[in-house]
Amino acid sequence: MIDPDSQILMVDLKGQYLKIKPEIDNAIQSVIDSSVYINGLPVGEFAANLENYTGARHVIPVANGTDALQIALMALGLHPGDEVIVPAFTYIASAEVIALLGLVPVMVDVDYDSFNVTAAHIQKAITPKTRAIIAVHLFGQSCPMEEILQLAEANDLFVVEDNAQSIGAIYSFSDGREQQTGTMGHFGCTSFFPTKNLGCMGDGGALMTNNDDLAFRAKMIACHGQSKKYVHDVIGCNSRLDAIQAAILNVKLHHLNDYIHQRQVAAKRYYDGLSGLESIVLPRKMPYSSHVYHQFTVKVIDGRRDELKHYLSEYGIPSMIYYPRPLQQQNAFRDIARKGEELTASKELCQQVLSLPMHTELTEEVQTYIIEKIREYAEQ
């Protein structure tokens, strides 16, 4: 039994902090002592450390993950009216940046089993106006990147990976090569929002690329379009990773593999405890990708997803719906987006998905209680 006075959390950021409190506090204090808060030493150190961790040739830290996506599209030199293909089942930021730049978001369906976009879905939406693809690695595992990269090359398209939810995931190519998500396209973009697997204590983000010219251009754009101080070669923006957040991320990056392992252990408990329920479909791990379980998202296929969510809440168990509607159905895109195909899977997923508590501090005791209540409801 769990403590009746304890609170079950979707994400336990405080618990994670307390385990590494001396490291975090020392890192923050070192920035305060230096009084260099903008582009300080920790920012450069973090970029180098993340390059080493991911294998990316260049890491460009920025203010948040949405900025990273926008700067990537700006650096690719796209023009208003150009089409960018994006999955309809994802967070709005992936498509929002397309529209902000006067580009046309083209919404395509995703694979029902993996939640991710595939080359087959993308291919149906390609037109002479298509210039780029945003491949979102959703919930913790990679899109089928080999096929997507081959399709992009055959059609002379840019590929931007939205890796906000899957940092540390490994993609396996058919020839045995392995690469981390975010390092395979022209750009990889990630977010360090606090709830992410690698999260800071505020906002933060980064771009990754193996292309020297694109890296140089992205760095310029992120700093008012400057090639050097007071020399502005392109129109840019002001997007910087705060030095205190970089210091925090330097600490957390050292723990990231352990965080991933803890999430994988928690996921296995869910798989073991929830298997065999007819109305609950567990997330499918694809053979070409490792899974870092940013979310553990089940599908409730008997039409009672919302009822289950309410039932769990009555027992103090939080859950979340990521996402309640396809992007194509959001009012913001009604007059500017193009639907690349029928969004059959996306629409169905929005009616079925339910994400369960998943974080590094999730105990076996708490998970046993969650599993018990889900089984109790499903077997009624």
The domains of the chain are located at: 14-250, 256-378
Cα separation, 84 vs 252, whole angstroms? 34
For residue 1, the model assigns a pLDDT of: 59
CATH topology for 14-250 is: Aspartate Aminotransferase; domain 2 (3.40.640)
Enumerate the H helices of 296-343 as residue ranges. Answer: 305-314
Give the CATH architecture of domain 256-378: Alpha-Beta Complex (3.90)
pLDDT of residue 167: 98
pLDDT value of position 380: 85
Q: What is the pLDDT of residue 337?
A: 85
Rounded CA-CA distance 106/126 in Å is: 9
Record the pTM. 0.97
Structure confidence at residue 3 (pLDDT): 67
| Residues in the chain, total | 380
The pLDDT value given to residue 340: 78
> Which residues of the chain are under the pLDDT cut of 70?
1-5
Model confidence pLDDT, tens digit, residues 322-337? 999 999 999 999 888 8
Continuous segment of H or E residues that includes residue 52: helix 41-54
CA distances from 33 to 27, 38, 132, 252 (A): 10, 14, 44, 20
In this chain, the answer to whether the domains covering 14-250 and 256-378 adopt an identical fold is no
Q: Mean pLDDT for the chain?
A: 97
